[in-house]
Amino acid sequence: MTASPDSTAPVPPAGIEPWLRELLRCPKCHAELRDTADDAGAPQLACTSSTCGLVYRVDDGIPVLLVDEAVAGPAQQA
């Protein structure tokens, strides 16, 4: 993993560099993503849109931003 522009900044729980994390958006609706975790504590990125709400897994610090592999978030399951 390469150093971020501000190497003193902590890496978030998802293991994604902060500068890259700020650029990531939901591939379906383009809303911001927030850091979450599943029941086992594995990092995930959840769409902040109330109409989309998809949740994307993070594998070894790499976000899997594929709509086909995303799961419905809590708001969408109700």
Are the beta carbons of 17 and 11 closer than 8 angstroms?
A: yes
Instruction: Confirm whether 64 is domain-assigned.
Output: yes
In the numeric block, the tokens 């399951």 are attached to: 77
Please give the C-alpha separations between residue 52 and each of 8, 11, 20, 48, 65, in angstroms, as whole numbers. Answer: 34, 27, 22, 8, 14
Question: How many folded domains does the chain comprise?
Answer: 1
Does residue 49 fall inside a structural domain?
Answer: yes
Cβ atoms of 4 and 17 closer than 8 Å:
yes
pLDDT tens digits, 46-56:
999 989 999 99
Which residues lie across from 62 on neighbouring strands? Answer: 59
The CB density around residue 34, as the number of other CB atoms within 10 Å, is 11
Query: The pTM is what?
Result: 0.76
Per-residue model confidence as pLDDT tens digits over 55-75: 999 998 889 999 999 999 875
Q: Which domain holds residue 39?
A: 32-77
Residue 26: inside a domain: no
CB 45 within 8 A of CB 55: yes
